[in-house]
Chains A and B, each alone.
Chain A
């Protein structure tokens, strides 16, 4: 079963629009961590954020914000005032106490920001 679901395969927005990328996860662990990574065309996955299962506070970092809701098992990512440089594939990932060293990646959302 897919542990992390990113239902949006591709999204296109016009520059300066806000965009939200959805992430839904599934786990039986009470302690787990959620991550977002950005993969630009160059290939490197860039770490954006880590959130643990006990911390439901939303986080804002510049134009980026994250909404973690345990009740709906979701960890959504919003980019405000999108820019062309935000064009990339974004992956949500999960790690669990019981499976330690590995990340379960979602299938990714390809975001294109049109100038």
Chain B
């Protein structure tokens, strides 16, 4: 099983809403990532969890709050977002998060902020 599952696939939310994106993997991977991708752009790294600890936070605004409840799950909590936060949010996992390990990506959540 080389699958990373993200829910929901699509999300429309107002600027005052609170919502969460969920990501799950059962490959025994110990590193999990959140990326943000705008149209016609490459993915931009937001957060990295390594062995369930936040290891990288790429200066992401506090309206995005990651959570890693266990080694298989990764959440991204959203609050008071802006329309410019509309994007494809991709979750990924890799075996150890080391430089030599490829990441496996989910299909993403297409988020629209209205």
Number of residues on chain B facing chain A (CB within 8 A): 26
Q: Chain A 34-59 against B: per-residue CB contact (8 Å), 1 yes, 0 no?
A: 01010000111111001010000000
Q: Number of residue pairs across A and B with beta carbons under 8 Å?
A: 61
Contact A50 B102 (CB under 8 A): yes
What CA separation (Å) do A100 and B55 show in the bound complex?
10
Q: Taking the complex as formed, is A64 at the interface, i.e. its CB lies under 8 A from any CB of chain B?
A: no
Number of residues on chain A facing chain B (CB within 8 A): 27
- Nearest chain-A residue to B45 (Cβ)? A102
Contact A95 B105 (CB under 8 A): no
- Nearest chain-A residue to B90 (Cβ)? A45
By a beta-carbon cutoff of 8 Å, the part of chain A in contact with chain B is: 31-33, 35, 37, 42-47, 50, 52, 91, 95-97, 99-103, 105-108, 110
Return chain A residues, CB-CB under 8 Å to B31.
101
Contact A44 B106 (CB under 8 A): yes
List which B27-79 residues lie within 8 A (CB) of chain A: 31, 33, 40-43, 45, 48, 50, 55-56
